[in-house]
């Protein structure tokens, strides 16, 4: 049977049509962290595990605004796959988006994936910037010397460690979700590290993105397939930290670092 070029290209398509990467809504942890930093305390006053920290009321409002934005898309533009971090704040965000978008639960693949979890902070967990310097001065010094990208806190992860698990996620996406439209709900470092991979950045570029400011809660970073690029098409950046859905819905935009944000390098 004779195939036209476009049929063949489609059969060979390696990537999804669209990938949206979203940071979870504002969480109770973001709020507690701000309070601890403002009061100059070494420890963030939150009893739940970071995994179990829920969205704040404002975070739920942001997730609803985002869900309505997806809901306004035509059927051939909306997500067909949702992948989210197992952390409560990310799962809640994904479920609220699903619920308010009007997407049918039956028509969508919804998976939680632990590889999308927050960066592991190890022994620095729950410490403020002040707390890290006070309690672990040598580590603080080592981190300044090595830099944020390669520094691994004891029991935790460097950005490279996170990138390694995300490379693995990309393998899964290209194997299982080609030609789909994939929404990923994760965390600040997850969004930035996906940018590193999809945009083929280096250490200097990823750190300058990080220094430029925190990623707003429920903001959207997206990539669209350009079938004319490369042998099997390439994903090209479309939106970066896009907050219009929140502004249109009148939901406040927040951009707090995740708990505990070690000092900006």
Architecture of domain 5-32+54-124+156-249: 3-Layer(aba) Sandwich (3.40)
- Of the given ranges (22-31, 72-81, 168-177), which has the lowest mean pLDDT? 22-31
Residue 239's Cβ-count burial label (10 Å; 0-12, 13-18, 19+) is middle
Q: Average pLDDT for residues 86-93, to the nearest whole number?
A: 97
pLDDT value for 129: 83
The model's confidence at residue 10, banded by pLDDT at 50, 70 and 90, is low
**Which residues are within 8 A (CB) of 205 and not within 5 positions of it... i.e. 6 or more apart?**
196
pLDDT at 9: 52
pLDDT digits (tens, 9 = 90+) for 102-119: 998 888 999 999 999 999
Per-residue pLDDT at 1 exceeds 70: no
> Do residues 233 and 227 make contact, with C-beta atoms less than 8 angstroms apart?
yes
pLDDT surpasses 80 at 261: no
Q: Which residues of 54-89 are buried (b: 16+ CB within 10 A; e: fewer)?
A: bbbebbbbbbbbbbbbbeeeeeeebbbbbbbbebbb
State the Cα–Cα distance between residues 108 and 77, nearest whole angstrom. 13
For residues 5, 182, 215, 137, the Cα torsion angle rounded to the nearest 10 degrees is -110
pLDDT at 15: 94
Predicted pLDDT of residue 259: 56
Q: How confident is the model at residue 250 (pLDDT cuts 50, 70, 90)?
A: confident
Spatial strand order in the sheet of 81-84: 109-112, 81-84, 181-186, 18-23, 220-226, 234-242
Contacts of residues 74-78 at CB distance under 8 Å and 24 or more positions apart, as own/partner, are 77/18, 77/181, 78/103, 78/181
Q: Which two tokens stand for residue 125?
A: 């967990």
Kindly report which listed range (48-52, 88-92, 190-194) carries the lowest average pLDDT score. Answer: 48-52
Residue 4's pLDDT band (cuts 50, 70, 90): very low
End-to-end CA gap in the chain? 59
Measured between alpha carbons, how far is 61 from 46 in angstroms, rounded to an integer? 22
Percent of the chain at pLDDT > 70 equals 93
Give the pLDDT mean for 226-245: 90
- 213 or 218, which is more confident: 218
Mean model confidence pLDDT for the chain: 89
Which one has a higher pLDDT value, 28 or 265? Answer: 28
Q: With contact defined as beta carbons under 8 Å apart, do 119 and 85 qualify?
A: no
The pLDDT of residue 257 is above 80:
no
Q: Which tokens in the block code for residue 106?
A: 């039956």
Residue 43's DSSP bridge partners are 127
Q: Give 200-211 pLDDT, tens digit per residue.
A: 999 999 999 999
Q: How high is the pLDDT of residue 29?
A: 79
Residue 5 has pLDDT above 50, yes or no: no
pLDDT higher at 221 or 128: 221
Q: What is the domain partition of the chain in residue ranges?
A: 5-32+54-124+156-249
Of the candidates 15, 14, 23, 13, the one whose C-alpha atom is nearest the C-alpha of residue 214 is 23
Q: Which spans in the chain are helix H?
A: 5-12, 28-38, 57-71, 88-101, 129-135, 137-146, 159-176, 188-198, 203-211, 244-249
Burial class (CB in 10 A: 0-12, 13-18, 19+), 255: middle
Q: Report the alpha-carbon distance of residue 8 to residue 3 in Å, rounded.
A: 6
Is the pTM here over 0.95, yes or no?
no
């Amino acid at each position: 049977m004779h195939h036209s070029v476009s049929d063949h290209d489609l059969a060979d398509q390696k990537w999804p049509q669209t990938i949206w990467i979203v940071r979870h809504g504002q969480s109770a942890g973001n709020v507690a962290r701000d309070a601890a930093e403002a009061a100059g305390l070494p420890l963030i006053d939150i009893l739940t595990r970071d995994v179990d920290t829920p969205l704040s009321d404002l975070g739920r409002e942001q997730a609803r605004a985002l869900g309505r934005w997806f809901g306004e898309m035509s059927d051939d533009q909306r997500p067909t796959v949702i992948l989210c971090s197992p952390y409560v704040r990310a799962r809640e965000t994904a479920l609220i988006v699903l619920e308010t978008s009007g997407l049918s639960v039956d028509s969508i693949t919804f998976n939680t994936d632990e590889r999308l979890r927050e960066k592991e902070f190890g022994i620095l967990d729950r410490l403020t910037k002040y707390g890290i310097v006070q309690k672990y001065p040598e580590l603080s010094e080592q981190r300044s010397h090595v830099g944020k990208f390669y520094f691994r806190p004891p029991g935790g992860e460097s950005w490279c460690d996170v990138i390694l698990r995300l490379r693995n996620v990309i393998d899964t996406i290209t194997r299982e979700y080609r030609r789909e439209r994939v929404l990923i709900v994760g965390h600040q470092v997850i969004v930035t590290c996906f940018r590193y991979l999809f945009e083929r950045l280096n250490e200097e570029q990823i750190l300058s993105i990080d220094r430029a400011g925190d990623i707003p809660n429920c903001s959207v970073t997206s990539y669209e397939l350009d079938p004319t690029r490369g042998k099997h098409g390439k994903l090209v950046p479309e939106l970066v930290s896009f907050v219009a859905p929140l502004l249109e819905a009148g939901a406040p935009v927040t951009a707090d670092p995740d708990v505990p944000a070690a000092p900006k390098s």
